[in-house]
């Protein structure tokens, strides 16, 4: 990893942003492994506003090396400070689809790594239908009353610790409606 001479302002801004980021919802399905994951768009949705509000930007570019394509992910702060990481882009084949898929995969993981983003799941309990809870009418009303993604995110953060399993499903559904 490379970085600017100082990252004091960047570190402070990232700390504030991370305190506001809830996590990326696993709302995409992988039919080969019968699992769910947070796609690149879900990862961006989970952190874009919080990064921007704190003067942070993520820049993702590629470089071609002797070993192949490398994703270069830079986290930049409005002060001019930056940190940068490199990740090889692994592909199943050399065709455009394989390269695009490998690049998207690398972008998702590099973005999550550089901003400290986690994917939110239900620890497998929902898939097994064990311990499934229905949301209370009060929570459902609060979710339905949200008029923006920011307002919904704030509500989700407050509910997340108390009742993660039921609020995650409601959050995902309402987020899709608001988008």
Domain boundaries, the chain: 2-121, 132-179
SS3 track for 50-119 = HHHHCCEEEEEEEEEECCEEEEEEEEEECCCCEEEEEEECCCCCCCHHHHHHHHHHHHHHHHHHHHCCCE
User: In the predicted model, what is the mean pLDDT of residues 40-44?
Assistant: 86
pTM of the model: 0.64
pLDDT of 111 over the 90 cut: yes
Task: For residue 168, give both structure tokens.
Answer: 């995650």
CA 22 to CA 158: how far, in whole Å? 10
136 vs 49, residue with greater confidence: 49
pLDDT at residue 123 in the model: 43
Instruction: Share the mean pLDDT of the chain.
Output: 79
What does the DSSP 8-state code read for residue 134?
A: P
pLDDT tens-place string over residues 66-108: 988 999 999 999 999 999 999 999 888 888 888 898 999 899 9
**8 versus 170: which is more confidently predicted?**
8
Buried b (16+ CB within 10 A) or exposed e, 129-167: eeeeeebeeebeebbeebeebeebbebbbebeeeebebb
Spatial separation of the C-alpha atoms in residues 138 and 174, rounded to whole Å: 15
* Structure confidence at residue 172 (pLDDT): 64
């Amino acid at each position: 990893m490379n970085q600017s001479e100082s990252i004091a302002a960047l570190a402070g801004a990232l700390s504030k942003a991370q305190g506001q980021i809830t996590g990326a919802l696993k709302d995409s399905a992988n039919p080969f492994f019968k699992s769910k994951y947070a796609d690149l768009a879900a990862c961006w949705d989970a952190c874009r506003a919080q990064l921007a509000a704190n003067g942070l930007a993520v820049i993702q570019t590629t470089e071609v090396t002797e070993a192949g394509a490398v994703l270069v992910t830079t986290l930049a702060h409005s002060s001019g400070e930056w940190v940068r990481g490199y990740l090889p882009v692994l592909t199943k084949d050399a065709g455009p689809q394989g390269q695009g898929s490998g690049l998207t995969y690398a972008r998702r993981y590099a973005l999550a790594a550089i901003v400290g983003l986690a994917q939110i799941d239900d620890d497998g309990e929902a898939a097994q239908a064990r311990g499934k809870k229905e949301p209370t009418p009060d929570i459902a009303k609060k979710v339905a009353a949200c008029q923006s993604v920011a307002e919904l995110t704030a509500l989700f953060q407050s509910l997340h610790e108390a009742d993660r399993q039921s609020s995650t499903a409601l959050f995902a559904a309402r987020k899709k409606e608001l988008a």
